[in-house]
Structure 1
Amino acid sequence: MKKALLIEVGNRYYDSELEGWYFVWCMDGQDVDVKFENHEHMETFDYADLLRDAYVVDSAAFTIPVQLLHPDAVVPEYQTAGAAGFDLHITEDIIVPANTVKIFYHTNPFDEDAHLDLTNYDFSLANDNHAVAGTGLAFEIPVGYELEIRGRSGLGFKYRIIAFNGTIDSDYRGEVKLLITNLGKEPISFKKGDRVAQGVIKKIDQATFVVTDKLSKTDRGAEGFGSTGVTKP
C-alpha cells in the first residue's frame, strides 16, 4: 500500500487508524460519505481527517481473495501483461448442443397432399443450445468493484460460442458458474480444465435515484431502437 494523495469519489481506501477498508460514495464540501467493508451503514468524515490516515492499493499488489470449492478448480491468472480479463476454467466435461427446430404438424396426417403445404406446419426454435458449468471458484470482490463475466473472442469467432455476460457482486460468496450458449450449427464439447469464459474486475458506482416530473431535453428525445439508422448520413 501507499499513502493516498487525495480522496476521490468511487475509490477504495484503507484507514490506518481504524484498520479497515472503505469505499467513498460521495463528497459534499469537506464532508465525505464512506462505507467500511465490515460495517453495514454509511459514515461521514471530515476530508482532512480521512486523508491523514488514507492509504491506497499499489496497483501492482492489488489482490482479491479466491476460495477453491472444487479439487479441479484453477486459480485465475492473466495470460498477458496487458490483458484486461483473466480466464475462467470449468471443473467438468460439458456438451453444448446446437439449437434445434421443433416442427408441429396440425393437419390430418392421412392427407398426403397436405404434407406438401408448409402452411400446415409450425416451426419454432427449441432454445436448448446452452449448458451450465461450474468454475469451482468463489471470490471476495472488494466493495466498489464487480466481477464481470464475459465470453472469449476466440470461441465466439471460431465456434459461435458465447458466455452469458453477468455481474458478480461484491457481497456474493457462492460459486461462480458459467452459462455457455452455442450459436453454431454443430454441438461442441469442452473438457474439464478448458477456458470457456473470462472475468474482468471493474469499478462501479451506486447512484441515488430522484423522482422528477420532467427530464432534460435532448435532440434524440424518446426515439428508441434503430432511431439513428445503419447507414452513415
Structure 2
Amino acid sequence: MNPDAISVELKWLAHGEGLPVPTYGTEHAAGMDLHAAVAEDESVTLAPGGGIELIPCGFSMAVPVGYEAQVRPRSGLAVKFGISMPNAPGTIDADYRGEVCVPLINHGPEPFVVERGMRIAQMLVLPVPRVSWSVVDDLCATTRGQGGFGHTGV
C-alpha cells in the first residue's frame, strides 16, 4: 500500500453488494472508477438531447475531515456517447453519509443505457484547505488586473 494513501471508510448498501470498490484503472490514474448499482435485471435509459438520471453507486462513505471527494465524468463516455454530468465536478463533503450517486446527462443523439456494474464516472479524494477571509480596502495589483471572460483572446 502507498504510504501516502489516506483511509476512507466505505459501507456497502444492499443493492451495491458484489460491485467493485472504487478502483484506479491504471497504475497512475488520478481518478477511481465508480460503478452503476442499478438492479441486475433492470437498466436506466438516458434520453437523448439532455435526459438526466441519478445513478446509484450502492455505497456510502466517510470522507476524512479536510478532504472532499470530487466526482467527474468519464472522458470515454463523453467522447463516444455524449454522456457527462450536469454538475461536473460534483463534490461529496466530509460530513455527507448518504449514498454516492452520479447525475448523468445525455448530450448525445441516441438513447444511452446504463446497466449494473458499468463504469459511469470517476472520483478523486483531495485535500481542501479551510479559508480565513481578510477584508481589505485594496488588493495588490497584477498585470492581468480585472481582465476576465476571454480577455486574452481565442
Q: Is the structural similarity TM-score above 0.5?
A: yes
> Structure 1 residue 173: deviation in Å?
0.9
Q: Is the 8 A contact 2:81 2:108 kept in 1?
A: yes
Corresponding residue for residue 182 of structure 1:
106
Query: How many Å separate the matches in 1 of 2:25 and 2:91?
Result: 22
Q: Map of 1:193-208 to 2, 5 A cutoff?
A: 193-208=117-132
* 3-state SS of 1:130 partner: strand
Query: How many Å separate the matches in 1 of 2:102 and 2:146?
Result: 35
Query: How many Å separate the matches in 2 of 1:217 and 1:192?
Result: 53
* 3-state SS of 1:80 partner: coil
| Offset from partner CA, 1:78-133 (integer Å, 9 cap, x none) | 2222121111111112111112xxxxxxxxxxxxxxxxxxxxxxxxxxxx421111
- TM-score, length-normalised on structure 2? 0.86
Query: How many Å separate the matches in 2 of 1:206 and 1:63?
Result: 20
* 3-state SS of 1:95 partner: strand
Larger Rg: 1
One of 121, 134, 137 as aligned partner of 2:56: 134
Query: How many Å separate the matches in 1 of 2:24 and 2:144?
Result: 41
One of 141, 158, 173 as aligned partner of 2:80: 158
* 3-state SS of 1:71 partner: helix
Q: What 5-or-longer segments of structure 1 have no aligned partner?
A: 1-56, 100-127
**Paired-residue identity, %:** 38
Query: How many Å separate the matches in 2 of 1:80 and 1:226?
Result: 35
> Structure 1 residue 72: deviation in Å?
2.9
The one-letter code matched in structure 2 to 1:94 is V
> Structure 1 residue 172: deviation in Å?
1.0
The two structures, once aligned, show a CA RMSD in angstroms of 1.7
Corresponding residue for residue 47 of structure 2:
97
Query: How many Å separate the matches in 1 of 2:33 and 2:61?
Result: 14
Whether 2:19 is the aligned partner of 1:69: answer no
Q: Is the 8 A contact 2:16 2:59 kept in 1?
A: no
Whether 2:13 is the aligned partner of 1:59: answer no
- TM-score, length-normalised on structure 1? 0.58
The one-letter code matched in structure 1 to 2:152 is T
Q: What 5-or-longer segments of structure 2 have no aligned partner?
A: none
Query: How many Å separate the matches in 1 of 2:138 and 2:75?
Result: 42
| Offset from partner CA, 1:145-188 (integer Å, 9 cap, x none) | 11100111111111111133111111111111111011111111
Query: How many Å separate the matches in 2 of 1:71 and 1:179?
Result: 18
Number of matched pairs? 145
Q: Is the 8 A contact 2:8 2:62 kept in 1?
A: yes
Q: Is the 8 A contact 1:72 1:193 kept in 2?
A: no
